[in-house]
Amino acid sequence: MAAGPFSKRLLPWLVAVAFFMESLDTTILNTAVPTIAAALKVAPLSMKAVLSSYTLSLAVFIPISGWMADRFGTRRVFASAIGLFTFGSFLCGISTNIHMLVACRVLQGCGGAMMVPVGRLTIVRTFAKSELIRAMSFVAIPGLVGPMLGPIAGGLIVAYLHWRVIFFVNLPIGIIGLFMVYLHLPDYREKSNPLDFVGLILFGSGIALLSYVLEVFGEHTLGVAAILTMLATSILLLTGYGLHATKTPFPLLNLSLFRIRTFRAAVSGSFFTRLGIGGIPFILPLLYQVGLGFTPIQSGLLMMPQAIAAMSLKMTMPRILTRFGYRGVLISNTVILGLLIVLFAAIGIGTPVWLMVTLAFCFGFFSSLQYTSMNTLVYADVTEQQASGASSIASTMQQMSMSFGVAWASLVTGFFIPDRLHSNAPQMIHGIHSAVFVLGAITVLSTIVFRELKSTDGSTTSQHKILQHSET
C-alpha cells in the first residue's frame, strides 16, 4: 500500500522520531554510568557491558532488517521494531541488577536495529529521486541531535529525577509512534531471497562471544583456560561464517565486496579507527565525575561540544574532501585524532574548563570528519545493485566497532587501575590518563589501513551520497 498525500508528508517525521530514539539511547547513558553503577552496586567500569550490549545487538540484527521488511512488509516490521524497543526500554527501567539490565539492553537493540534501516528503506520507496535528498537529509538531523542531547539529558535526569527515567522517557514516544505507524506508514513488500539462517547463527554467535570475552577479560571472573577457549571458539565461528558466505548464494553479509579496494579500506579503517576513538564517550564521563568530582549535569555539558562541533561544521566537510581527497583527509585526520586523544591526558584537577571545552570541540569536529569520510567512501566504487549489501556491511561493522571500542577502552583503563579501585578518584584519573595514551597510539596506527588508497579514490563520489550516508 503506497502512501497518501498526508501520510507522505508525515512519513519523514515518523522516521525521524524513530532515528532520534535510537540515536539518543547510544549516548544518554554515558553521563549516568557512575550513578547507575552505584545504584546497582557494581564498579563503574563494569557498566561497559550495558553500553556495548546495545550497539552489539544493533550489529547482529541490522543485516536481517531488509529481509524482514521485504518478507513481512515495512509497516509490520517498523511497528514491531518500535514496540520491541519500547518494551525493552520499560524492562531496562525496572531492572534490579546489571545482568537483567544488559539482557534488556540487548532486547532494546533488537528493536533499534530494525527501526533505522526499515525507516530509511520506506523513505527510499516513497519519495521520488528528485525529493529523496531533501527527505533523507531531514530524517538524518535527529541522528545528529540525539547524540548531542544524550549526555546532558542523562545528566539532568539522574540529577533531578531517577536514573530509571532515562528508559521510561521512551515509553510515551513509543506508544504514540506505534499508533501513528499503523495509521500512516505505507506498507511495502518485495520478493525476498531466502534468509541465511546458518550465516546469522555463525556470525551473531561469533561476535557476541568475542564481545563477551572482551567484557570479562581482565576482571578475573574466569580463568585463563576458559577465556582462551571462548576466544578460540569465537574465531572458529567467524571463520566458519567466512567460509559459509563464499558458498551460499544469498549470504547474510556479502563478503565479496571486500575485493573492492575503496570499500575494504573504508570499512576496515572504520573498524580499527573506532577501536581507538569509540570508547572516549564512555571514559570521559568517568574522568569528569569519578576522577574530578563534576556533577552529571556538568559532565554532560562538557561532552556537548563534541556533538555541537560535529553538527555545526557538517556542511564544510564535503568541501574539505573535495579539496584534499579521501586519502589525504583520512591519513592526516586519523593522526590528528590520535594526538587529540593523547591530549585528554592533560585534563586533571585544576584544568581550566575552557581548555576542556576547546579540546572536546576539536575532537568532535575531527571525529565527524573521520566518520563522514569513511562512511561515504564505502559507496565510491560500488554499483547500485551492490549498494544495499554495502550499506548492511558498513552499518554492521560500525555498530560492532562501537561495541568493541567501549569494551576495549574499559579493558585498557582497568588494566592501569590496581586492585579494582574503580571508585577511587586518583586511581581513576591515573587509569584514564594511561588509557588515552594507548587509545591514541592505536588510532595513529590505524592509518596503515588507509595507505592503500590512491589520491584519486572517491573523487567521483557525488554530493547526495555524502548527505545520504554520512550519519555517524
Verify that 65 and 186 share a domain, yes or no.
yes
Residue 454's nearest CA partner among 367, 381, 366, 375 is 381
**Domain match, 174 and 279 both:** no
**Could you list the residue range(s) of the whole structural domain that residue 337 is in?**
257-472
Q: Give the confidence band of 470 by pLDDT, cuts at 50, 70, 90.
A: very low
Please say if the pLDDT value at position 214 is more than 70: yes
Segment among 99-103, 172-176, 363-367, 418-422 with least mean pLDDT: 418-422
The last residue of one of the domains, among 171, 195, 219, is 195
The reply to whether 415 and 450 lie within a common domain is yes
| Terminal Cα distance for the chain, rounded | 32
* Among 53-57, 161-165, 219-223, 307-311, the least confident range: 219-223
pLDDT level of residue 463 (50, 70, 90 thresholds): very low
Residue 75 pLDDT: 87
Contact criterion met (CB below 8 Å) for 30 and 154: yes
Span 395-452, pLDDT tens digits: 888 888 888 888 888 888 877 775 554 556 777 888 888 889 999 999 999 999 998 8
Task: For residues 188 and 223, state if they share a domain.
Answer: no
- Range of 287-296, 335-344, 362-371, 408-417 with top mean pLDDT: 335-344
Both 208 and 89 in one domain: the answer is no
pLDDT score, position 441: 92
Question: How many domains, the chain?
Answer: 3
Q: What is the pLDDT of residue 335?
A: 94
State which of 195, 215, 240 marks the end of a domain.
Answer: 195
Rounded to 10 degrees, what is the CA torsion of 93, 99, 102, 108? -50
Question: Does residue 334 surpass a pLDDT of 90?
Answer: yes
Other residues' Cβ atoms within 10 Å of the Cβ of residue 94: 12
Percent with pLDDT over 70 in the chain: 90
pLDDT tens by residue, 370-390: 887 887 788 778 776 777 778
Q: Are residues 47 and 183 in the same domain?
A: yes
pLDDT at 343: 93
- 274 versus 465: the higher-pLDDT residue is 274
The CATH number assigned to the domain holding 116 equals 1.20.1250.20
What pLDDT is stored for residue 139 in this prediction? 76
Average model confidence (pLDDT) for the chain? 83
Judgement on whether residues 81 and 150 belong to the same structural domain of the protein: yes
| Shared domain check, 236 and 297 | no
Tell me, yes or no, whether 208 and 266 share the same domain: no
Judgement on whether residues 234 and 324 belong to the same structural domain of the protein: no
Q: What is the pTM of this model?
A: 0.81
Q: What are the φ/ψ torsions at residue 162 (nearest 5 degrees)?
A: -145, 145
Same domain, 209 and 265: no
Shared domain for 58 and 124, answered yes or no, is: yes
